[in-house]
Structure 1
Amino acid sequence: MTAQTVPQTTRAERGGLRGNPWAVLVAIAFGVMMVALDGTIVAVANPAIGESLGASLAGLQWVTHGYLLGLAVFLITAGKLGDRFGYRNTYLVGVVGFVLSSVAIALSAGVAMLIAFRVLQGIFGALLMPAALGLLRSGFPPHKLGRAFGVFGSILGAATAGGPIVGGVLVGTFGWEAVFFVNVPVGAAALALGLWLLAPNRATDSGSRMDVPGIVLVSIAILALVWALVEAPTAGWTDPVTLASLAAALVFGAAFVLWERRPQEPLIPLGLFANPSISIGVVLMVLMAVSLMGSLFFVAFYLQGVLGMSPAQTGMQLLPMTALMALTSPVAGRVLDRVGARTPTTAGLLLAGAGMFLLSRLDTDTGTVYLSAAFVLLGTGLSLVMTGSTAAIVGNAPVRFAGVASAVQQAAMQLGGSLGTAVLGAVMSATIISTLPGHFAAAGLAEPASGELADMQSTIAQGGAVVPGGATAEVARAVTEASNLAFIDGLQWAFGIAAVLMLLAAGLSLFMRGGRPDGGEPVVHV
């Protein structure tokens, strides 16, 4: 199979703004914002959801992971659908479905119902995101792709990091349901702009067939992997269900790779990964998401549970990260057009590593200036990494496979998010269990029995404390302080690991190609 040249729309076809590359970017901005926002807005709403619906830490993790699960499992298939049937129609269907599922979430009466609709929301988000990137990749010439990805990264980064701010204001003012109802006006704007500004639907790979066996194999592999990552912190990494899920992910993943080696109509042309920039970009996207999603999940509990901030104050404390992610990405895009992805990506990983190291030194009385400095480094670094990795993956893929390449980029980000909250959550839980008895003893309290530790760590991992009924104010204070110290122990270990991952990723990024994205070289099947 050889790469095809996709016919570009002419000025007459575009009819003014319609179909213009920058108008396309404006049109998809609201849809991209909506999906990215929902990836992190729940971080601030989680405490309120837990209190309102009586959810445990595991249940709250599923509120986050259910969304990521729907995204991750369906992304590759959605990318192929965009290539096969056109990005415009795929994008618009995703917008409508995302809004309707958001309303259903807000009206949920229990945790199980909420999680089910979060999964459905993730599926529609999977339709939307690769199609949006596919529209960019097919609409911009190669020498302007970096700038386009920079603006795209700015939107994605600002919305991702802005979730806690918006969520804090909405939860504090209207309740947790508002973080989902807000998608109604945003989605309406996305739909209206899409119908107005996006050119008529045109498939880039209309002659291909859907690889049904490949879809089944990769979907089961990703489902099993995410399931294991979600359940392992609660059930244990050696639990039979966890091991069985990991084994299933390995078996079906290997079967998928073997199946995709066929030259006829593969779901993911494996020749894409012969380009080192694409392969390394995928790994870097995973590591970036581990740091971003894992840190946001527990930072919200730290700010509210340990420091006692309100949801709105939590969002404002994260403002430096939000602002820097929004401001740095366009600059990174311009640099990408000149020197390629390697230099800004490496610099971003070093900055993010420094930010994570500062967060690994948090204490029970850390000041806001220190926190802001850490978030500035983290926001600047992660925006550079997100822009550079996206350009490396999507910019180096042939235009006809823009949807699949975009899906690979998004799948890497979502799997990294699940991996981050699962692994860092496991580190948090193990550290709390090992250090809590010592903190209780140091405070003059009776050490909790081994059977009590498992129940207590779930609450403590959310920044809370299990105070015995009828305890005096002095005992309650001592229990809270000891619990907070155990939480900090876990936080420091988790963020320290994330900092080391960023440094290792910086070394890997040096092996990326130094030039600009080549606009998509022909795919060699392997």
Structure 2
Amino acid sequence: MHDTPVLAGARPEAARERRSPRTNPWWTLVAVAFGLFMVGLDGSVVAIANPYIGQDLNASLSELQWVTNSYLLALAAALILGGKLGDRFGRRTFFLAGLVLFTLASVAIAVVGSTAGVIAFRALQGLGGALMMPNTLGLLRAVFPPRRFGAAVGIWAAVSSVSTAAGPIVGGLLVEHVSWESVFLINAPIGLLGLVVGLLVLPESKDGTGHHRFDLPGVALLALGMIAIVYPVVQSEAWGWGSPRTLGLLALGVALLAVFVVVENRTAHPLLPMRLFRNPSLSVAAAVTAVNFFVLLGSIFFLMLYLQNVRGYGAVEAGVLTLPLSLASMVASPLGAALTDRYGPRLTLTLGMVLQAGASFGLLGLGVDSGYATMWPCFLALGLGVGMVMAASSEAIVGNAPVRDGGVAGGLQATALQVGGALGTAVLLSVLGSRVGSVLRDSFLSAGVPAALVDGLTGAHDAVAMGVTPVLPGVGADVQAAVHQGAAQAFVSGMHTAVLVTGGLCLVGAVLSATIVRRGRNGGGVPAVH
């Protein structure tokens, strides 16, 4: 008799618990999507704002590279740490902390008023992203059952791909109709809404294997090694690839990462467990993921300079012209997840790399006066390739890692993305700039610029490498038109060299994916909980 009221009261309580947003994994996906969207958007939105930032703050090409790369480098250097902190102390806690830091840094970028300040706060913004990104996957891994994890990752990949690809469109609308500062201020309402939703619906999760000493040497070695490699790549155009500073810092970076590997193998509780790389599918997928964003962010950077400065499109027009890229990535992510679920990640990764290789080589057809019919098939193929690789790499990396390493594996994937993106903008802009410098004089002469004026124009190398035509005061319209033609030809020649690099890397990625990547041992690629 006495049990009846208790049982009667328990049923509604249990039902309420089942209906609670904190127990519904799809609400977790909604909450993490806010942070994921901001991080992806800010990785690419700056590409279209860069010409405006350069004009307003008198920034050089190298400084504009750092506006992009300080963000990506900070992300890359701290992503593994962000995942580890979430695994140990709580993924919800560090995701929300990163969301707040990212939002505040975004506002600071908009009001600081100097190039150095923008670069510094972009780095702080990157640190906030590093706390969020790996814990998005860690949170999903903790709440979704294995049979639904693939679908969740497909949506995760779609949000990440679309936000990255949508950056030029959103940025174009904002910089043309509001200001370049609004590109960053838009994160304030998104971040505030994301914080409210996160506080209401996100459950706390962490690694339950116990507490242990934190791997501070690993943190320092990984961060310093990445900085030592990316910094000279960014500066290579000014220093020269063969200069002692460039070669010395690159050698130092490689040495630091080698020491990092040794230390991690000898540490009881490492920052990045080297056992993850015993799985060749995971290792290749991480490399292909890096190539994926190397191509995407690097290509978006120079394509925006081409569309706006060489072809003369406005910011909104340039964003709209890249719409096939955004739409294709939106379609490709769930399609890639479905293909991966059925056939495994090998097919999807290979197909994604082949599509990106085709897009890169297709861009060789772009000239000074190319029409849109030459561009859109390349944008379409690039978007399809990016979305497919994103979906497949999530399973190949996170799905092949033990649950206890979920945050670290998410950090590894996100690190591969951001290292690839940072190196993409740095390497490809350096390649483009070097090619511009080598052909600039001949380009001016072939365009009909008088030889007496050419020597004075070669000093405008930095401007031409951004697609900007130097202005000669006191010359006739025909001479200025020849200067524009010569500068545009030099930029296009540099762009062609850059896309040859991306196409070659994609072909290598396709071969590695086709020959090495395999489906995870647990069928769907999601290991059993242990």
Q: 2:11 aligns to what? A: none
| Whole-angstrom distance in 2 between the partners of 1:275 and 1:13 | 39
| Whole-angstrom distance in 1 between the partners of 2:509 and 2:250 | 24
Does the Cα contact within 8 Å between 1:437 and 1:448 map onto a contact in 2?
no
1:400 aligns with 2:407: no
| Whole-angstrom distance in 2 between the partners of 1:433 and 1:263 | 47
> How big is the shift at 1:447?
4.5
Q: For 2:365, what is the secondary structure of its paired residue? A: coil
Q: What amino acid is aligned across from residue 498 of structure 2 in structure 1?
A: A
1:512 aligns with 2:517: yes
Residue number among 265, 276, 290 corresponding to 1:272 in the alignment: 276
User: 1:353-432 maps to which residues of 2 (within 5 A)?
Assistant: 353-432=357-436
| Whole-angstrom distance in 2 between the partners of 1:135 and 1:57 | 39
Greater shift, 344-353 or 154-163, is seen at 344-353
| Whole-angstrom distance in 2 between the partners of 1:311 and 1:338 | 41
1:41 aligns with 2:48: no
Please list the CA deviations of residues 33-91 of structure 1 after superposition, one character each: whole Å capped at 9, or x if unmatched: 01110000000000000000000101100100110121111111111101111110110
Q: Which has the higher contact order (CA 8 A, sep 6+)?
A: 1
Q: 2:259 aligns to what? A: 255
| Whole-angstrom distance in 1 between the partners of 2:239 and 2:529 | 46
Q: 1:29 aligns to what? A: 33
| Whole-angstrom distance in 1 between the partners of 2:15 and 2:295 | 43
| Whole-angstrom distance in 2 between the partners of 1:339 and 1:13 | 37
Greater shift, 115-124 or 198-207, is seen at 198-207
Q: 1:474 aligns to what? A: 478
Does the Cα contact within 8 Å between 1:360 and 1:494 map onto a contact in 2?
no
Please list the CA deviations of residues 252-285 of structure 1 after superposition, one character each: whole Å capped at 9, or x if unmatched: 1111111111251111110111111110111101
Q: 2:3 aligns to what? A: none
Does the Cα contact within 8 Å between 2:346 and 2:517 map onto a contact in 1?
yes
Q: 1:325 aligns to what? A: 329
Q: What amino acid is aligned across from residue 343 of structure 2 in structure 1?
A: V
Q: For 2:23, what is the secondary structure of its paired residue? A: coil
Residue number among 167, 173, 178 corresponding to 2:177 in the alignment: 173
Structure showing greater Rg = 2
User: 1:32-111 maps to which residues of 2 (within 5 A)?
Assistant: 32-111=36-115
Residue number among 340, 344, 349 corresponding to 1:340 in the alignment: 344
Q: For 1:470, what is the secondary structure of its paired residue? A: coil
User: 1:207-246 maps to which residues of 2 (within 5 A)?
Assistant: 207-246=211-250
Q: 2:7 aligns to what? A: none
Q: For 2:329, what is the secondary structure of its paired residue? A: helix
Does the Cα contact within 8 Å between 1:229 and 1:418 map onto a contact in 2?
no
Does the Cα contact within 8 Å between 1:75 and 1:130 map onto a contact in 2?
yes
Please list the CA deviations of residues 70-121 of structure 1 after superposition, one character each: whole Å capped at 9, or x if unmatched: 1111111111101111110110000011000000000011101110100111
Q: What amino acid is aligned across from residue 329 of structure 1 in structure 2?
A: S
| Whole-angstrom distance in 2 between the partners of 1:263 and 1:110 | 43
| Whole-angstrom distance in 2 between the partners of 1:281 and 1:442 | 45
> How big is the shift at 1:517?
4.3
Change (3 A) 1:239 1:448: farther
Please list the CA deviations of residues 139-179 of structure 1 after superposition, one character each: whole Å capped at 9, or x if unmatched: 22233222211111100000000000000000001110000
| Whole-angstrom distance in 2 between the partners of 1:80 and 1:280 | 22
Q: 1:295 aligns to what? A: 299
Residue number among 191, 198, 204 corresponding to 1:200 in the alignment: 204
Change (3 A) 1:239 1:453: farther
Does the Cα contact within 8 Å between 1:438 and 1:447 map onto a contact in 2?
no
Please list the CA deviations of residues 112-137 of structure 1 after superposition, one character each: whole Å capped at 9, or x if unmatched: 11101001110011001011111112
Please list the CA deviations of residues 428-469 of structure 1 after superposition, one character each: whole Å capped at 9, or x if unmatched: 112112222112222332448998676322111111111222
Q: 1:4 aligns to what? A: none
Identical counterparts, % of pairs = 42
Change (3 A) 1:204 1:161: farther
| Whole-angstrom distance in 2 between the partners of 1:341 and 1:443 | 49
Residue number among 19, 22, 39 corresponding to 1:18 in the alignment: 22
Change (3 A) 1:12 1:291: same
Greater shift, 185-194 or 95-104, is seen at 185-194
Q: For 1:18, what is the secondary structure of its paired residue? A: helix
| Whole-angstrom distance in 2 between the partners of 1:357 and 1:112 | 36
> How big is the shift at 1:206?
4.5
Does the Cα contact within 8 Å between 1:437 and 1:447 map onto a contact in 2?
no
Greater shift, 439-448 or 184-193, is seen at 439-448
1:463 aligns with 2:497: no
Change (3 A) 1:227 1:521: farther
| Whole-angstrom distance in 1 between the partners of 2:93 and 2:444 | 59
Please list the CA deviations of residues 502-522 of structure 1 after superposition, one character each: whole Å capped at 9, or x if unmatched: 111101001100454432379
Q: For 2:112, what is the secondary structure of its paired residue? A: coil
| Whole-angstrom distance in 2 between the partners of 1:447 and 1:273 | 57
TM-score between the two structures when normalised by the length of structure 2: 0.93
Does the Cα contact within 8 Å between 1:87 and 1:203 map onto a contact in 2?
no
Q: For 1:261, what is the secondary structure of its paired residue? A: helix
Please list the CA deviations of residues 221-277 of structure 1 after superposition, one character each: whole Å capped at 9, or x if unmatched: 112112122211222122232222212211211111111112511111101111111
Greater shift, 144-153 or 268-277, is seen at 144-153
Does the Cα contact within 8 Å between 1:144 and 1:337 map onto a contact in 2?
no
Task: Name the Cα RMSD after superposition.
Answer: 1.9
Greater shift, 220-229 or 454-463, is seen at 454-463
Q: What amino acid is aligned across from residue 91 of structure 2 in structure 1?
A: Y
Does the Cα contact within 8 Å between 2:444 and 2:454 map onto a contact in 1?
no
| Whole-angstrom distance in 2 between the partners of 1:450 and 1:370 | 31
TM-score between the two structures when normalised by the length of structure 1: 0.94
Q: For 1:254, what is the secondary structure of its paired residue? A: helix
Please list the CA deviations of residues 477-505 of structure 1 after superposition, one character each: whole Å capped at 9, or x if unmatched: 10001110111111111112211211111
Greater shift, 442-451 or 463-472, is seen at 442-451
